[in-house]
Amino acid sequence: MSDPLFGASCKTPAAVAALKRQLKPAQPERQYRYPETVNLPFNRQALPDGFVLHPTPQPLHDDNAVWVLLQGGTVLMREEQDQLFLPEGPCPAWLYLKQPPLSFATLQGRAVQVAAVPSGLQIPPELVAEPFNAFRERITPEQMTIAGIGKQLLHWQRMSRFCSYCNAPLEQLPESWGKKCTACNNEHFPHIHPCAIVLIRRDDQLLLIHKPEWPVGRYSLVAGFLDVGESLEECAIREAMEETGVTIRNVRYIASQAWPFPSQMMVGFVADYAYGDIKVDGNEIDDARWFTIGSLPSLPASRSIARFLIDSCS
C-alpha cells in the first residue's frame, strides 16, 4: 500500500508528524495503580492525610494510640469484613514486650506507636498477622506505609544503642532521629542502604530471575546493593552480569522507592540487552529466563517498585 502522505503539499517534518498522529488509531490510556512514582507505598507521598512524622521520638501515650505491632515479617491488623485496620486504643493488655514501644508520629492528632511483638507470643483472635510481602494486597498503601516507616525507625533504634567508633552509649539528639556518642561526640544517623533494581528488555521480552526462597513460579527483577566507588547505573550493570551473565546497555533511571526491609532505598532503572547468554550460580539465583511481555509469569505484588517498573516500562 502506498503512503497516504506521499505527495502531500505540506512536506515539513512537523506537519507530516501532525498528520500521522491524526491518522493513527486512538489508543486507550494505560491506567496504573500508582500513577506517580512518588506515591509508591513506603514513600512519604503515600501516607494518609493527617499523618505527621515526629522529628525525634516522643513520650509514649497509653490512652488512645494507633498501634503498629510487628511480629517477624508480619504486621498485626484488626480484621473487619475482610478489611484490615491498624489496632487502636490503649496498650493491649495481652502485649508482652522485651523493648518499650516507640512513639514516632501522629495520625489525626493521635499518637502512632510501633512495637516488636515476640515471635512466640500468641496473638488474640481478633487480630491477624498479615505478611508485608503477602501476594493478596489487603493492607491499604496508606497503612502499609505507616507500618513500613515504623518498622524502619524501630530497626534504627535497635541498631543504634552504641557508638561504632568507641562503643560508648549513644544518646538521642533533641530534634533529629540521629544520635550522639556520650564519649567521643560522634553523631550517627539512620542508615539507608541504596540498591539498584533494573528491568532488562530485549525487543518484546523481559529478563526475569527467580531466587530459591521465593514462591515457585514467582519471578522478579535483577537487583543488588550499591558497592564502594560505584554509581547506581554501574551497580545495575554489575548486578545484571553477576546474577544472569548478560551485559546490558542504555541504563535509564525511572523511579525510586523507600523499602523498609529493613532500611533500603530501591533505585529503579530500565536497560536494554546488549549481549551474552544467561548463566546463574544456582545458589543466590536458581533461574533466569526471557519472558515474552504477553506471557509473563507470576510477578511481585503491585506495591513494589519491581512491579511498577514491569507495568510501566514493558
For 196-233, how does the pLDDT look when each residue is reduced to its tens digit (9 = 90+)? 999 999 999 999 999 999 999 999 999 999 999 999 99
pTM for this prediction: 0.85
Measured between alpha carbons, how far is 27 from 58 in angstroms, rounded to an integer? 52
CATH number at residue 296: 3.90.79.10
Tell me which of 105, 139, 159 is where a domain ends: 159
Q: CB of 86 within 8 A of CB of 77? A: yes
Report yes or no on 44 lying in a domain: yes
Quick check: 220 and 299 in contact, CB under 8 A?
yes
Residue 1 lies in a domain: no
Q: What pLDDT shows up at residue 156?
A: 97
C-alpha cell at 314: 514493558
Torsion of CA 203, 205, 207, 211, to 10 degrees: 180
| Any domain includes 171 | no
Residue 33 confidence (pLDDT): 60
* Of 99, 95, 142, the residue nearest 123 (C-alpha): 95
Residues 52-101 pLDDT 10s = 999 999 999 878 899 999 999 999 999 988 889 999 999 888 998 888 99
- What pLDDT is attached to residue 38? 63
Task: Based on the fold, state whether residues 146 and 221 are members of the same structural domain.
Answer: no
Assess whether the previous peptide bond of 262 is cis (omega < 30° from 0): yes
Q: Same structural domain for residues 209 and 299?
A: yes
CATH code at position 123: 3.90.79
* Strand, coil or helix: 45: helix
Domain boundary among 141, 159, 177: 159
First to last CA, the chain: 30
Domain, as residue range, for 234: 193-313
Does residue 181 lie in a domain region?
A: no
Q: Based on the domain organization, do 155 and 262 belong to the same domain? A: no
Query: Is 2 part of any domain?
Result: no
DSSP calls for 215-274: PTTB-B-EEEEPPTT--HHHHHHHHHHHHHS-EEEEEEEEEEEEETTTTEEEEEEEEEEE
**Is there a domain that residue 166 lies in?**
no
Greater pLDDT, 137 or 238 = 238
The answer to the question of residue 220 being in a domain is: yes
How many Å apart are CA 72 and CA 240, to the nearest integer? 30
Counting the structural domains of the chain, the total is 2
Q: Is residue 180 part of a domain?
A: no
147 and 216 part of one domain:
no
Domain boundary, last residue among 133, 159, 185: 159
Position 11 scores a pLDDT of 41
Among residues 204, 99, 201, which one has the least CA distance to residue 159? 99
